[in-house]
Amino acid sequence: MMFHIPDVLTPDEVRQCREALERANWLDGRGTAGHMAVRAKDNQQLAQDDPLAQQIGDFIVQRLGNHPQFIAAALPLKVLPPRFNRYSGGGTYGDHIDNAIFSVPGTTHRVRSDLSATLFFCDPDDYDGGELVVEDTYGSHRVKLPAGHLVLYPGSSLHRVEPVTRGARMAAFFWIQSLVREDSQRSLLLELDSAIQQLGESVPDNPALVRLTGVYHNLLRHWSNT
């Protein structure tokens, strides 16, 4: 399942984050790549202990914790602190699959990467190239969203970032361990939840809504890994 969540950040919040990121201390992104990914990676990143990364990352996690679409789609159990990257001057990241397990910096905790997320800080007209390309059983999906929008996709997906040939592409990226491990099950729960919400608006007094809501929670109870 790939899911687009619009307006995670307001235009003013995006502007403030972007102004701060443009003054940030960007490092060679290959320093965080594994022995295979290092050959495909050509970008810049903020250090994970950079105070600016921690400040903006905490703000993003706080916003997502109150975002109903994110909660419904991801069913988050754990969210890895966001990281930040920048692509320019032909920067790219070739085909790769994210690590299955990530350590939370400064702790003994680990996060399984059921879902990958990218939050865009630059509008599509600000740069050429830079599409996030995600491969799945239905083909290739090219993603280039407005600033402040977020895309969720399975962490098991083969994906890449196309070369940025003009301007700069800045984004936050992070991983989520879901209450429901299987993507197909999360997709069914999201579809059921969306249908319940729509019916609640059109026929709020229909007794079938209570039964459908019960089905949703019983499925979540059955499929949850906690």
Q: What residue numbers does the annotated binding site for Fe cation cover?
A: 96, 98, 159
| Four-CA torsion 31, 33, 39, 45, nearest 10 degrees | -60
Task: Output the known binding site.
Answer: 96, 98, 159, 169
Task: Output the known binding site for 2-oxoglutarate.
Answer: 169
Residues comprising the chain, all counted: 226
In terms of C-beta distances under 8 Å and separation of at least 24 residues, what long-range contacts does 210-216 make, across chains too? 216/189, 216/192
Calculate ∠ Cα 197-201-206, nearest 5°.
Answer: 90
30: its two tokens: 């290959």
Neighbouring C-beta atoms of residue 58, cutoff 10 Å: 12
113: its two tokens: 């990467």
142: its two tokens: 């090219």
Among 36, 108, 109, smallest CA distance to 78 is for 109
Among 146, 160, 124, smallest CA distance to 5 is for 146
